[in-house]
Structure 1
Amino acid sequence: MKQDIEQLKQTASQVRRDIVRMVHGCQSGHPGGSLGCTDFLVALYFNIMNNDPSFNMDAKGEDLFFLSNGHISPVFYSVLAHAGYFDKSELSTFRKLNSRLQGHPTTHEGLPGVRIASGSLGQGLSVAIGAALAKRLNGDDSIVYTLHGDGELQEGQIWEAAMFAPHNKLDRLIATVDYNGQQIDGPTEMVLSLGNLKAKFEAFGWEVLEEPNGNDMASVVAVLEKAKSLTGKGKPIAILLKTGMGYGVDFMMGSHKWHGVAPNDEQLAVALAQLEETLGDY
């Protein structure tokens, strides 16, 4: 059953608690982008996407999601756990030896919900295109969703895929860019400017939606619903979703310095004080 906006907000608060606790527990991982993308992934899995937590790799008759920027695995794992793919107690094993919850998602551990190994940036859109082509061949009109970091768009393979999808009229494909303006070495504008992303995607033949409030749950749901309404009309859809790095934890917000740094004990306590426990900690 779909969650309403207030339920989604409650779920997102718990997911953010999970993220900071997971990264703190192993003193390793990527909290910044995970916190920023929480609203998107919660909306996708608990309101938008037709998905089955019993999980099979083929996903016939199901929507698919591919996480291209795999370093934000904490948010992905937390959302999968709360959606019923595996028990949330397993979140305590994040990045531990012999854990299925590796720092970047992989498939050989057989973790339900994970269909590709990701983290080598630039590859997720190509994989999603392959899945969209397979669904077309199977007569399956389900939607394929992807998520990408904005810094990831500096990878050339992204633009090869961006050219291929419109040429082949893959109009059941929705690619979202986490447009937080930050990457590991600093602001994207300083590392390598992305220019006018909307104009670029449109020039390649995509339908482009822009959402400036990527951390407002109602706005995220609305733009995803709008994207769904545009499927089947001959073009792939790109969503440029403005988010805040580290959103929800005041001392992490807006800074690339929390791209891949774990909070210490004191910082964890401060972070948790800002995030309501709603569904119970693992």
Structure 2
Amino acid sequence: MMDIIDLKKKAAEIRIRLFQMIHNAKAGHTGGSLSNTDILTVLYYHTMRHNPQEPKWVERDRFIASKGHSVESLWCILADLGYFPKSELETFSQFGTRLIGHPNNKVPGIEMNTGALGHGLPISVGMALAGKRDHKDYRVFCLMGDGEQAEGSIWEAAMSASHYKLDNLVGIIDRNSLQISGNTENVMGLDPLDKKWEAFGWHVVSIDGNDIVSLMETFNSIPYTEGKPTLIIANTVKGKGVSFAENAIGWHHRVPSDEELALAIKELTEQIESLVSKEGQPHE
């Protein structure tokens, strides 16, 4: 299990890889992958119980990327952990590849195909209910987008999870406030998002979704209420980690130029070097 400094370094390394991968493929969803990188880094390197050598291990925690278009960070993490060779990242979005632009369950470590928004949480409810009925203690984590909250199937699943008292289910909303057509509050207003989920019977926690320490502490405290599913509103910055991409709607699925790739690598490398210089000092 990694400590705080190592997790921050790993998140920066993953951001470099996903930027390189999107540049090489000339395709991808850059902004959302950058915003969810910290969430996935803490889940896979700190919180979740899983085994790259045995992807179908019955006791594993399950992860569903319901916002499947932001898969690039997930591909990079699965490769880094050894679910498949890192060299395969070079085939991302190329003809015949397994690493398509959405999660593909032909790849070890992927529980289900996702892409059509609103499908991940209903499937996660089924997985969590199966765990309860099989007397297993695994947990199910489902990452959703904030624009995805406009899908009716999300709210049907939310009601079902509460009805079945699925405290082994954790919903996470990547709340970066931007979707492909603009600010979420202009496209389809969500606020008060916390009150809506609470009204559906969930325990709701709002955190800084780009803060490694907050993510660690929050995931370590689950379940917050026995008999209730947990919903984490992870307030993030779209394009996080790359200054010229942060909070820029154009980076929803923009491909970086050669110059932008070089600038991003420089920024992220400097972040890593700053963290390395802190090693050996008292951790936060």
The corresponding residue for 1:255 is 248
CA–CA distance in structure 1, aligned partners of residues 269 and 142 of structure 2 = 28
Given that 1:55 and 1:113 are in contact with CA atoms closer than 8 Å, whether structure 2 keeps it comes out as no
Deviation at 1:133, TM superposition (A): 1.3
Output one character per residue of 1:43-80: Cα deviation in whole Å (capped at 9) or x when no partner: 000000111112344x4111111000000110010111
Structure 1 stretches of 4+ with a deviation exceeding 4 A read: none
Partner of 1:75: 73
Residue 165 (structure 1) aligned with residue 161 (structure 2): yes
TM-score in terms of structure 2 length: 0.93
Tell me what 2:261 maps to.
268
How far residue 83 of structure 1 moved from its aligned partner, in angstroms, is 1.7
**Is 2:36 aligned against 1:23?**
no
Deviation of the 1:230 alpha carbon: 2.1
8 Å contact kept, 2:167–2:223 = no
Looking at structure 2, the residues matched to 74 and 256 of structure 1 have their Cα atoms a distance apart, in angstroms, of: 18
Amino acid at match of 1:72: S
Alignment of 1:23-172 (within 5 A): 23-57=22-56, 59-107=57-105, 110-172=106-168
Partners of 1:221 and 1:234 in 2: how far apart? 22
The yes-or-no answer on 1:230 pairing with 2:224 is yes
1:187 correspondence with 2:183? yes
Cα offsets for 1:143-181 (capped at 9, x unmatched): 111100000001110000011100111110011000000
Q: Distance in 2 between matches of 1:29 and 1:55?
A: 29
Could you list the runs of 5+ residues in structure 1 that have no partner in the other structure? Answer: none
Q: What is the root-mean-square deviation of aligned Cα atoms in Å?
A: 1.4
Higher mean alpha-carbon deviation, 137-146 vs 40-49, is at 137-146
- In 2: Cα distance, 1:81 partner to 1:157 partner: 31
Alpha-carbon shift at residue 31 of structure 1 (Å): 0.7
Deviation at 1:139, TM superposition (A): 1.0
Distance 2:191 2:6 in 1: 37
> What is the one-letter code of the residue matched to 2:188?
L
Which residue is equivalent to 1:216?
211
Give, in angstroms, the shift of residue 195 of structure 1: 2.0
